[in-house]
Amino acid sequence: MSYTIRPAQEKDIDPIHSLISHYALQGVILERSREDIHDNLENFLVAEDSGIVIGAATFYDYGETLKEIRSFAIDENYHGRGIGSSLLKKIVERIDRKDSTRIFTLTYKPEFFSKNGFTVVSKDDFPEKIWKDCRNCKDWDNCGETALVYRG
């Protein structure tokens, strides 16, 4: 199998939305509307195999010093092939990092991110995220996600 990782394009909005929706229905990532994907398309990367989108990831920019990797999804048929690690590496490289920039994620799969240079931290380290997304989440009182920050 030969796959490529590239910046997302308009034609990728529906496949990205399908991937995200699949995992959102399982409750492991937050749902994103097509409009939200469109509005943030410049921050999305996709993994593609023979013209088919098999993975996607984006980041949210909270300002100069904080970026969140989110909407990270790999088609289940492609798990275990290193695509997720490659996509994560590329999205980290894509983020314009200054010395003080922190890259973080909230996830139900901390072991994957830990294997790829992230360290577990407290969610309280990211009040920007809490007030933007978490306070409106149905799991607010019983969140099972783990916060991790990139250490490289």
Instruction: Give me the average pLDDT of each 10-residue run along the chain (152 residues).
Output: 93 98 90 95 97 96 88 95 96 80 90 96 73 55 79 82
Strand partners, 58: 70
* The pLDDT value given to residue 19: 97
Distance (Å, whole) CA 4 – CA 83:
9
Sequence spans of domains, the chain: 3-150
DSSP symbol at 49: E
Q: What is the pLDDT of residue 122?
A: 87
Could you say which architecture CATH assigns to the domain 3-150? 3-Layer(aba) Sandwich (3.40)
Q: Cα(28)–Cα(71) distance, rounded to whole angstroms?
A: 10
pTM here? 0.87
pLDDT of residue 129: 59
DSSP state of 21: H
